[in-house]
Amino acid sequence: MKLIAITGGIATGKSVVSRYLRNLEYPVIDADEIGHKVLDLDNVKKKIIAEFGDLLNKDGKIDRKKLGTIVFSDRNKLQILDSITHPKIVKMIEDEAKKLGKMNDEVFVEAAVLFEMGMDKRVDFIIVTYCPDELRIQRMISRDHLTYEEAMKRLKAQLPASEYLKRADLVIDTSNKVEKTLEQIFDILKKKPWSGKI
């Protein structure tokens, strides 16, 4: 089984790639979804409350919007949150990959913070989605209803695009229409470069 990562900065089109793969019935693990599950773990909640104050909403869950406002404004606080959640996210991804790997030759994992989690050392191949920063900001403003300043904060909280590109085995350019992105994915699936046959 080959574990193939899909990563890239916020609003670079990772979910477009994942959705297309799922439509073609490839297994895709969503690290963000696993991150939500981790935030629901009692021991994680306790640690977050101890560090950041009472961020529970009326359902007893961590208010992710409030937490995001705190950590995206302060790199140190983001690192504290990462140290609490990342090891658990990595473990859950690996457990899921082992399960899916019993029935599939290829398992994909969509993870925005692949490098920050150290997951890049645990995958066989890294696909990076890329588009210019200005386009990413426009997408965040229209998709997530953020202000320009909020979008910039999120952008700056992540690794620069150059870092993703430097560490990629393959890059998908998502600057154009969705059809162009899908064509690139289709081409990659045909060639399967992770199998060593390009």
Average confidence (pLDDT) over 152-163: 91
pTM over 0.85: yes
- pLDDT at residue 198 tops 70: no
User: Six-digit token pair at 180?
Assistant: 């162009």
- pLDDT at residue 134 tops 60: yes
Which candidate, 178, 197, 190, places its Cα nearest to that of 24? 190
- pLDDT at residue 72 tops 90: no
Mean of the per-residue pLDDT values for the chain? 94
On whether the CB atoms of residues 106 and 26 are closer than 8 A, the answer is yes
What band does 197 get if pLDDT is binned at 50, 70 and 90?
Answer: very low
User: Six-digit token pair at 164?
Assistant: 């993703």
Question: Alpha-carbon distance 28 to 23, whole Å?
Answer: 10
Dihedral of the CA atoms 158, 21, 39, 96 (nearest 10)?
-120
